[in-house]
Structure 1
């Protein structure tokens, strides 16, 4: 078996996990009939899968999803929601790095935009894409705070410009000031035709143009978001109310 000196060498080569898998295979009497080459390749595959799982866990944690358990498999396809299972399964395996097309999720409050956005974002992480989730009010606040430090401000703009998938929830649910709107334009312009953005909102592009404070910047911001975007209109089903009603029924709730 391997010694502590051996493991120091493995750590230097960054193959400690592979060595551990290999040692476990050697200790298993059921593998006596297998060749060393076969065991070596099995250990390498196991180590790579462990490394991939760790990388995915880090991507999901770094994205800061408010619903970290959201899953495309758990989405409910009610007829009124404008969703199809085929379309969502495509998003489950979508190569965001190869397709810069934006996605707009639109519905009134309670329509399930937040869950679907998180589910798509987590699926992107499972495919090893970097994702950044933020609400519009949080993003505006981050930009204002960072604006006091030129280096920190530029670093934030660079991060949001270069992440594989940027996901902005509650888009323009509340207004933003002109400085935040200008920064938003910079981010979207940097991403335009290069990297995709997902927008979840209670309203659509027409309202966004009217709401943005800088009318000169409003048209190019909305143009970069909506001109080459896929749109999912989730309809008026209040999923929050529906789920609460079903939960009361399951628990034999009384009032």
Structure 2
């Protein structure tokens, strides 16, 4: 058996991690310490883990998070109306299996963005395609896409995301374009995938911010009724040592 040919064939079949481990075992003369079945399982597991890690890295990169947020680093010590048991359950991502949404509200600095991105990070770890975006920035991008004819293509990308995170929702009043765009996004994703909205504006004021009663009713009916709601309280975490947003 020509080991060099075997390693080259593995590389050509894009089994690079398997090839590298096989080469290392040959150099270390460790082949005889394992049965054929054990060795095949070892190589297969190594290649599998390598590909899974690459997939996670790709998903995290494509999500375009603003922060490195992690569920294990969530701050429950501050008195900010965050129930640990409830948020831990959300961290299992069962809400995504049920195609439910999450609404995070509260003043600037209380940790809304961090919590949203921590859930998004967990979604990527679990292999879910995730998109994070500032809401106003996304709407500007989609407005430009209407001009160059790529609007439907951009909408399709948002629909494909298993989890969409819209941060700083409602900071600017909605014009006709923003209303129609939001309706397109929410309607396409309704009962198909989950959305997280983070906002400094209380949900009770969203109707007026969106405007156009009929459209506002349709949007809020699709968002609010299927959402877990967290209304954070307390002072800005930016003032302390732990900065969660």
The two structures have a TM-score, normalised by structure 2, of 0.91
2:44 and 2:120 map into 1 onto residues whose CA distance is: 29
Aligned-partner Cα distance in 2 for 1:83–1:189: 29
Q: State the match for 2:171 in structure 1.
A: 173
SS of the aligned residue for 2:123 comes to: helix
Identify if the C-alpha distance between structure 1 residues 34 and 88 changes in structure 2 by more than 3 Å, giving closer, same or farther. same
- Correspondences of 1:37-48 after superposition (within 5 Å): 37-48=37-48
Mapping of residues 27-106 of structure 1, within 5 Å = 27-29=27-29, 32-67=32-67, 69-78=68-77, 80-95=79-94, 97-106=96-105
Q: Which structure 2 residue ranges, 5 or more long, are not aligned?
A: none
Are the aligned partners of 1:212 and 1:218 in contact in 2 as well (CA < 8 Å)?
yes
Answer yes or no: is the 8 Å Cα contact 2:69–2:114 preserved in 1: yes
CA contact (8 A) 1:93 1:127 kept: no
2: CA distance, partners of 1:21 / 1:90: 38
CA contact (8 A) 1:124 1:130 kept: yes
The equivalent position to 1:227 in structure 2, one of 211, 225, 230, is: 225
Per the alignment, do residues 114 and 97 of structure 1 end up closer, same or farther by CA in structure 2, a change over 3 Å counting?
A: closer
CA contact (8 A) 2:7 2:23 kept: no
Instruction: Find the residue that maps to 2:147 and give its secondary structure.
Output: coil
What residue is the counterpart of 1:189 in the other structure?
A: 187
Aligned position for 2:140: 141
Structure 2: how far apart are the matches of 1:46 and 1:96? 32
Consecutive unaligned residues of structure 1, counting only runs of 5 or more, are 246-255
Q: How far apart in 2 are the matches of 1:11 and 1:99?
A: 40
2:139 match: secondary structure? helix
Tell which has more relative contact order, 1 or 2 (C-alpha 8 A, sep 6+): 2
Equivalenced residue count is 242
Alpha-carbon distance, 1:87 to partner: 3.0
**Superposed displacement of residue 15, structure 1:** 1.8
